[in-house]
Amino acid sequence: MTTASVNPPPRLLMGPGPITADPRVLRAMSAQLVGQYDPAMTSYMNETMELYRHVFRTSNEQTLLVDGTSRAGIEAALVSLLEPGDRVLVPVFGRFGHLLAEIGERCGAEVHTIETPWGTVFTPEQVEEAVLAVRPKVLAVVHGDTATTMCQPLDDLGEICRRHDVLLYCDATATLGGNRFETDGWDVDVASAGLQKCLGGPSGSAPITIGSRAVRVIEGRRHVEAGIAESGDVGRGVRIASNYLDLAQIIDYWGPRRLNHHTEATTMLYGARECARLLVDEGVDVAVERHRLHGAAMLAGVQGLGLQVFGDVAHKMHNVVAVHIPDGVDGDRTRAGLLTDFGIEIGTSFGPLHGKVWRIGTMGHNARKDAVLVTLAALEQVLRAAGVPVTAGAGVGAAQEVYA
């Protein structure tokens, strides 16, 4: 059998993520491997921890990478915090809230949810009322739900959790680096993310930060693997149900003891480190402002094309907008036209929104003026081909006004 080498077609990924990776991240990922305990490698690990402290805006010592896509970070957090029978409260405002609830169930936790219609977010009062009714150990909340584009304000939730002695876990996969996220400022106990959105890398590594209250809970469940445990390593508490995602062991691996756990995914670490290095070099606030600007230009552009924006725009993430697919337009066919004729990918959504909205992202490496304008110009063409009456140049023109 003969197969050609990998040579993907040129694409501009303007969907909800993954996005076109920053070439500098890909270059870092082509570097040669070193051994797991090589001093060069352990320095890269320490630097990665420090860089992500800046990205997450935290002084948490335990800021590291979980190997795997974003959901590996989510599962690591929840399986390490939740014992069977523990109560977890999940405010659901889109697909990824359902994911948190499902993972909580798989941990054997007693899962309680509150729901708000897709396209809206919760008020702090709604969340506090549920916290009082459920008295959970953990409040698990998505920051930006990519399925709906909504961004749940978190600034009051940490304080509510502290007051009621609840741990706050946040899924910042879709928002980190492109929207304000203050781990320490908002009293978030654990937050995790992925690289493939605003961080401008490929999926496959999940940065996570764990505050001292959560570390205490995790350390209280520490069981070192039999084959490597030493005399002082006496198991404590209820053992974490996953070995691979056991944050107690992962913390030991990243810490000064360097206790062997998994074989670190070196190439992903190079990529994750470069994503954070680029962000810190740019300035986290500057990167957030860049996402705000290009997100605003894309929003104006799609409105200029006459498309109806989905959801509560005041609570939209900077980096993605959802628009209703116009009546009579075949959404998938139009997206396919955009891909084949222009090399541009946009997304549809999930569940109740599948086939009803398109989601257009401006994130990471693609939060750029040229990417926004080219996407709007191409969208105008495919809309016209689908029979939608569009004023020539209306999308690009509206975006240009934002840039003026």
| 152 touching ligand PLP, by CB under 6 A | no
Residue 7: partners with Cβ closer than 8 Å, 6 or more residues away:
none
CB of 227 to ligand PLP, least distance (A): 29
99 vs 378, beta carbon nearer ligand PLP: 99
Structure token pair of residue 311: 């959801």
- Considering the complex, what minimum distance in angstroms separates the CB of residue 171 from ligand PLP? 5
325 binds ligand PLP (CB under 6 A): no
CB 10: neighbour CB atoms within 10 A? 6
Beta bridge pairs of residue 190: 169, 210
Among 67, 86, 171, 264, binds ligand PLP (CB under 6 A): 171
d(CA 369, CA 236): 53
Closer to ligand PLP by CB, 147 or 278: give it: 147
# residues near ligand PLP by CB under 6 A: 13
For position 142 contacting ligand PLP by CB under 6 A, the verdict is: yes
Nearer of residues 242 and 381 to ligand PLP, judged by Cβ? 242
Query: Would you tell me how many other CB atoms lie within 10 Å of the CB of residue 341?
Result: 12
Q: Is residue 95 part of an annotated ligand binding site? A: no
179 binds ligand PLP per the rule CB under 6 A: no
Neighbours of 220 (CB within 10 A): 12
Contact 45, 51 (CB under 8 A): no
Binder of ligand PLP out of 13, 15, 17, 64 (CB under 6 A):
17
Out of 70, 149, 179, 249, point to the residue binding ligand PLP (CB under 6 A): 70
* Signed CA dihedral, 12, 65, 110, 214: sign only: negative
Binding region for ligand PLP (CB under 6 A) out of 64-72, 231-239, 253-261, 318-326: 64-72
Hey, what are 233's tokens? 């390593």
Restricted to residues 75-134, the positions that interact with ligand PLP (CB under 6 A) are: 96
Stretch binding ligand PLP (CB under 6 A), from 166-174, 281-289, 351-359, 376-384? 166-174
DSSP secondary structure, 339-391, as one string: HHHH-EE-B--SGGGTTTEEEEE--GGG-SHHHHHHHHHHHHHHHHHTT----
Amino acid at 46: N
Residues in a beta bridge with 115: 92
Annotated binding-site residue numbers for substrate:
359
Binding-site positions: 359
Q: What residue ranges bind ligand PLP (CB under 6 A)?
A: 17, 69-71, 96, 142, 145-146, 171, 173-174, 194, 203
